Amino acid sequence: MEDPGDRGVDPAVIESCRRGDRDAFRALYEAYKDRVYSIAFHFFHGDAPAAHDVTQQVFLKLINGIARFRGDSSFSTWLYRLVVNACLDRTRRAGTETPAEPEVLNAYADPVASHEDVLNRAEVARAVQTALVRLPPKLRMAILLRYFDELSYIDMAAALNCSVGTVASRLSRGHRLLARKLASLREGVPAKGVAKG
């Protein structure tokens, strides 16, 4: 399977980075910064400062560690592993598995939707975000990599440093917890929390 994350970067740029070329680092940063920020932003439930800090940390680790990148996996898979580790490390340092809840994300700007539809969509978006952020971190990251970044199970296993079977297990557990949390949406009752499993 072609790795969509590597399409825009010439292998020569990565090789130049390994030799310390600052322009090459800048090119890599521009190519991947939005992807890194997006994963961290969703992992930390829209906490922009946390996502910004993780993005900076990931690229500092990239600068310091790219000389050790040997190409055994694709570059983007290696970068995903840095992102996963940075997000989980920050969560452990904070001593909590659930980031604080910031404002709900933009509720589907549809110019023809009624006010009630917009409110309903915002409530659904809030419930989904809250359910996702209350998953244990390893399950949350698996869901994000699969459904927000559309990684294959093989690429996820490489990024998460685990087996494909473990990826499948984390996704299955994450699905069950999300389904339990979101079941109340069918009855129109705001849900309150996800039990950790």
pLDDT digits (tens, 9 = 90+) for 142-188: 998 988 888 899 999 999 999 999 999 999 999 998 888 787 665 55
Determine the pLDDT at residue 117.
59
Determine the pLDDT at residue 118.
54
CATH class of residue range 9-187: mainly alpha
**Mean per-residue pLDDT for 4-27?**
79
Determine the pLDDT at residue 185.
62
Domain borders along the chain are 9-187
Buried b / exposed e over 90-110, threshold 16 CB at 10 Å, is bbeeeeeebbeeeebeebeee
Q: Are 164 and 142 in contact (CB under 8 A)?
A: no
Higher pLDDT, 64 or 105: 64
| Residue 74 banded pLDDT, cuts 50, 70, 90 | confident
E strand or H helix at 131, and its extent?
helix 115-133
Q: Are 182 and 158 in contact (CB under 8 A)?
A: no
Is residue 47 scored above 80 in pLDDT? yes
Q: Identify the DSSP state of 145.
A: I
Which tokens go with 47? 């906490």
Which tokens go with 109? 């700007």
Determine the pLDDT at residue 1.
35
| Residue 197 banded pLDDT, cuts 50, 70, 90 | very low
Determine the pLDDT at residue 50.
92
Q: Which residues contact 38 (CB under 8 A, 6 or more apart)?
A: 148, 149
pLDDT tens-digit readout, 102-150: 443 443 344 445 556 556 666 666 777 778 888 899 999 999 898 888 8
Higher pLDDT, 99 or 67: 67
Determine the pLDDT at residue 49.
92
- Distance, CA of 98 to chain centre: 15
Determine the pLDDT at residue 11.
83
Judged on CB neighbours under 10 Å (0-12, 13-18, 19+), 153 is middle
pTM of the model: 0.68
Determine the pLDDT at residue 195.
42
**CA–CA distance, 89 with 145 (Å, rounded to integer):** 17
